[in-house]
């Protein structure tokens, strides 16, 4: 057993051991012989069995929450000299606090998890110097944040507004390449909410410096972890392949994994989110931004709520969709989207038309919020103006035959 061998926990169950083979050519995960309960299953695609699960790269479900971008660099800076910076080492460091049911620890540990003191949500949203605050949060929580994505972010617990209850939150900032990304995501997610799409609770700090989103992978009562797997995991693809699929294949994955009683709602939600991405010009709707939720293996599976909606063309003027549809990556017309909905999602014609109307209405309603915000926050004017232009073009083009 190497120094990097990790125990993998699924919920309260120690599921097995994760390691690399001696020649470093494969990762191997083996369920413990005592892990007979279906609750120990680490992924919908990896049932409990005696045979080990081998993978040339780290198994996609274990890759799923490896930090990326600024958070990854912060973790590496903190641990590289002392522990190294390979994937298993990073999992060992951040493994007690992950999105979903899986946790990681040293083999000899009797449990996995991190106990944190709670921040105040009100203070996070009203703190005057959010840049200073976010640097402090990175320093405090970077090594305890198993969450993917290139946008700078940390996971923490916070007391909720007006209550003594503590909830799990993800706090995001941005780098110099993407100014005002918090406000961009806030208004994009507001458009999703007004279009009727399910989504987590979210907030924008008073000065626009932080976007704060409540975690949707925790139960409302008790804060227990739900199973969460993104489409990279479900399609057995690594994080680097998150742009290497199609929306048709996402539709198939929804059919394959979402339970029958939730399938129709999942298809409608997925199509509405795709239409919304076209209307607000969100070119980052890749495989890691769609996922499923379940209480534990063997229980019903539903599509996760909408998250990570951003108008990307505000920063990349010629940006295109993240995945292909009908063999192309472009902002598709209504006709092409309708064909997709009918052929791959089995949606009724009337429902398809209703989704177009509801999403367009949600975008138009939210559009009215941008100009007043731009007046109050001059630093947002450039990005806000580009968002307004993109939304106008997106709604017009997406509704065109």
As a whole number of angstroms, the distance between CA 29 and CA 52 comes to 6
Q: Domain total for the chain? A: 1
The boundaries of the domain holding residue 379 are 227-399
CATH code: domain of residue 281: 1.10.1070.20
pLDDT, mean of residues 367-382: 96
Return mean pLDDT, the chain.
Answer: 89
* pLDDT for residue 146: 62
Greater model confidence, 394 or 71: 394
pLDDT band at 133 (very low <50, low <70, confident <90, very high): confident
* pLDDT for residue 167: 83
pTM score, two decimals? Answer: 0.91
Distance from the first to the final alpha carbon of the chain: 61
Question: Is residue 257 included in any domain, yes or no?
Answer: yes
pLDDT, mean of residues 138-153: 68
Greater model confidence, 235 or 158: 235
pLDDT band at 84 (very low <50, low <70, confident <90, very high): low
* pLDDT for residue 36: 74
Question: Is residue 127 included in any domain, yes or no?
Answer: no
Question: Is residue 64 included in any domain, yes or no?
Answer: no
Question: Is residue 47 included in any domain, yes or no?
Answer: no
CB atoms within 10 A of CB 167: 19
Is 161's pLDDT higher than 80? no
* pLDDT for residue 147: 65
The token pair that represents 152 in the structure block:
């700078």
Cα dihedral sign, 375-381-383-387: positive
Question: Is residue 45 included in any domain, yes or no?
Answer: no
Is 342's pLDDT higher than 60? yes
The token pair that represents 307 in the structure block:
């998250």
As a whole number of angstroms, the distance between CA 107 and CA 12 comes to 15
Is 85's pLDDT higher than 70? no
Residues 367, 372, 378, CA angle at the centre, nearest 5°?
115
Range from 137-141, 297-301, 312-316, 387-391 carrying the lowest mean pLDDT: 137-141
Is 211's pLDDT higher than 80? yes
Question: Is residue 218 included in any domain, yes or no?
Answer: no
pLDDT band at 1 (very low <50, low <70, confident <90, very high): very low
pLDDT band at 96 (very low <50, low <70, confident <90, very high): confident
Is 277's pLDDT higher than 80? yes
As a whole number of angstroms, the distance between CA 247 and CA 322 comes to 9
Question: Is residue 29 included in any domain, yes or no?
Answer: no
* pLDDT for residue 149: 64
Residues 305, 311, 314, CA angle at the centre, nearest 5°?
165
8 Å CB contact between 82 and 90: no
pLDDT band at 2 (very low <50, low <70, confident <90, very high): very low
* pLDDT for residue 164: 60
Question: Is residue 55 included in any domain, yes or no?
Answer: no
pLDDT, mean of residues 269-293: 97
* pLDDT for residue 119: 81
């Amino acid at each position: 057993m190497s120094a990097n061998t990790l125990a993998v926990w699924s919920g309260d169950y120690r599921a097995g051991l994760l390691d690399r083979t001696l020649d470093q050519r494969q990762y191997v995960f083996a369920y413990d012989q005592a892990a007979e309960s279906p609750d120990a299953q680490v992924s919908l695609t990896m049932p409990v069995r005696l045979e080990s699960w081998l993978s040339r790269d780290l198994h996609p479900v274990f890759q799923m929450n490896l930090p990326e971008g600024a958070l990854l660099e912060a973790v590496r800076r903190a641990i590289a000299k002392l522990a190294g910076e390979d994937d298993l080492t990073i999992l060992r460091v951040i493994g007690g606090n992950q999105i979903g049911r899986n946790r990681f620890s040293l083999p000899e540990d009797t449990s996995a998890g991190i106990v944190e003191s709670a921040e105040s949500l009100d203070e996070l949203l009203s703190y005057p110097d959010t840049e200073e605050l976010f640097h402090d949060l990175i320093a405090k929580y970077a090594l305890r944040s198993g969450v993917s994505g290139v946008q700078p972010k940390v996971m923490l617990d916070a007391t909720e507004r007006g209550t003594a209850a503590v909830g799990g939150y993800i706090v995001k900032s941005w780098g110099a390449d993407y100014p005002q990304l918090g406000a961009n995501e806030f208004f994009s997610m507001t458009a999703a909410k007004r279009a009727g799409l399910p989504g987590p609770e979210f907030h924008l700090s008073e000065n626009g410096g932080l976007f704060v989103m409540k975690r949707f992978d925790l139960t409302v009562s008790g804060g227990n972890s739900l199973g969460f797997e993104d489409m990279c995991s479900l399609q057995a693809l690594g994080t680097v392949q998150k742009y290497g699929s199609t929306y048709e294949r996402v539709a198939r994955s929804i059919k394959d994994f979402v339970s029958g009683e939730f399938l129709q709602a999942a298809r409608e939600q997925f199509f509405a989110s795709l239409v919304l991405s076209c209307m607000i010009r969100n070119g980052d709707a890749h495989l890691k931004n769609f996922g499923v939720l379940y209480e534990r293996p063997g229980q019903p599976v539903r599509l996760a709520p909408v998250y990570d909606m951003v108008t990307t063309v505000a920063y990349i003027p010629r940006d295109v969709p993240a995945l292909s549809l009908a063999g192309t990556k472009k902002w598709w017309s209504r006709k092409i989207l309708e064909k997709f909905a009918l052929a791959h999602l089995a949606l009724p014609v009337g429902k398809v038309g209703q989704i177009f109307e509801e999403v367009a209405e949600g975008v138009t309603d939210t559009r009215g919020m941008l100009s007043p915000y731009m007046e109050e926050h001059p630093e947002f004017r450039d990005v806000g103006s580009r968002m307004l232009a993109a939304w106008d073009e997106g709604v017009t083009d997406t509704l065109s035959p």
